[in-house]
Amino acid sequence: MNKFQNFIILLFFFNYNKFFQRILNNLKEENNITKCKLYCNEKGGICTNNNLTCICKPDFDTIYIKDPIILCNYKKFNKYYSAFTELFIGFGFGHFLCDRILSGYIRLIIQLTTCFILSCFFSISVRINYEFNDSTVLNKTILYSFCIIFIILIWRIVDFILFITNKYKDGNNIKLY
C-alpha cells in the first residue's frame, strides 16, 4: 500500500465517529421531518423549529377524537358569522351555526313560543276591542308586546356581544376564532 492509501485509512479510522454521527443526525432529521409531516395536518398546521413541532394556524385547533392523533385537525367556527347571524336573524341560528345545539334549541323554543303567545293575546285583545269597544286591553297588550320585543332585542344584543368577545365556545368546547 502506498502512503496515500494509508493516510486515507487512518483519516477514515479516526474520523469514522464524526462520519457516522453525521449520518445518524441526517437520519434523525429526516425522521423528524416525516413525523411532523405525518402528524401535522397540512391544511391547518405548519411544521416549525427544524420540523420538530406542529403549530396550528389561527383558525385550526386539535381535537382528540381519532387514533393516531393528527394535529391541527379541527376547523374552528368564525365568531363573526355566528354573532351577526344571531343579531340579524335571531331565533338561535347563531348558536346552531357554531354547533351550540342545546342553546340554539332553547332560544328557538323560547322565541317561537313568545311570538305565538303574543299573537294569541293580540288577536284576543283586538277581538275584545271590536266586540266591546274597549281599547284598554288592546293598549295593554301592545305595551306588553313592545316590552317583550324589547327584552328579546336586548337578548340578541347581549348574545352578539358575547360572540364577538369570544365568551362563547363551540359545541366541542373550542374557542371561536
Task: Select the more confidently predicted residue: 68 or 146.
Answer: 146
Enter the C-alpha cell of residue 12.
Answer: 477514515
Burial class (CB in 10 A: 0-12, 13-18, 19+), 132: exposed
Parse the chain into domains and list their residue ranges: 3-75, 79-164
Residue 119's alpha-carbon distances to 28, 97, 106, 172, in angstroms, are: 72, 28, 20, 37
Give residue 124's pLDDT. 87
Supply the pTM of this predicted model: 0.70
Highest-scoring range by mean pLDDT, 11-25, 27-41, 163-177 = 163-177
Using CA atoms, how far residue 160 sits from 80, 83, 90, in Å, is 9, 5, 10
Lowest mean pLDDT among 4-8, 87-91, 117-121, 159-163: 4-8
For 18-31, what is each residue's pLDDT tens digit?
A: 555 554 455 455 45
Length of the chain: 177
Q: Give alpha helix (H) positions in the chain.
A: 3-39, 79-88, 93-97, 101-132, 135-164
Residue pLDDT, tens place only, 108-130? 999 999 999 999 988 888 888 88
Question: Which uninterrupted H or E stretch holds 54?
Answer: strand 53-56
